[in-house]
C-alpha cells in the first residue's frame, strides 16, 4: 500500500444540522495558509471551528475556537516580510 503524505495542519468543524449531535469532521492541509482559507469559510457557518498542527510537526500549535479570529489575522509562516 502506498504511503499518502499527510498535511501539516488540520481544521476541525461541526457537521451541519441533521447529522448526529456533536459530530465533527476534520480536513488536513499542507500549509497554514490553506488551513486558514478553509477555516474562514467554515466560520461563516459555525463559530465552533478549531485548528492546529499535526504530529510530528513542530512547533506544535493548537488554535481553539476562541483564538480562531486572532489566528486568522496573524501573518502566515510562509508570508514574506
What is the per-residue pLDDT across 6-64, written as a single tens digit (0 to 9) for each? 679 999 999 877 767 778 899 999 999 999 999 999 999 888 999 999 988 888 999 99
What is the per-residue pLDDT across 61-80, written as a single tens digit (0 to 9) for each? 999 999 999 999 998 765 54
Q: What is the sign, positive or negative, of the torsion defined by CA atoms of 26, 69, 53, 61? A: negative
Q: What confidence score (pLDDT) does residue 19 get?
A: 64
Q: In what order do the strands lie in the sheet with 9-14?
A: 24-29, 9-14, 50-53, 62-63
Decide: 9 and 52 in contact? Cβ < 8 Å: yes
Q: What confidence score (pLDDT) does residue 73 get?
A: 94
Q: What's the predicted TM-score (pTM) here?
A: 0.79
Amino acid at each position: 500500500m502506498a504511503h499518502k503524505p499527510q498535511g501539516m495542519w488540520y481544521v476541525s468543524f461541526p457537521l451541519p444540522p441533521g447529522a448526529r449531535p456533536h459530530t465533527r469532521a476534520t480536513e488536513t492541509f499542507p500549509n497554514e495558509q490553506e488551513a486558514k482559507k478553509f477555516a474562514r469559510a467554515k466560520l461563516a457557518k459555525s463559530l465552533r471551528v478549531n485548528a492546529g498542527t499535526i504530529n510530528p510537526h513542530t512547533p506544535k500549535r493548537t488554535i481553539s475556537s476562541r483564538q480562531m479570529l486572532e489566528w486568522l489575522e496573524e501573518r502566515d509562516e510562509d508570508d514574506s516580510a
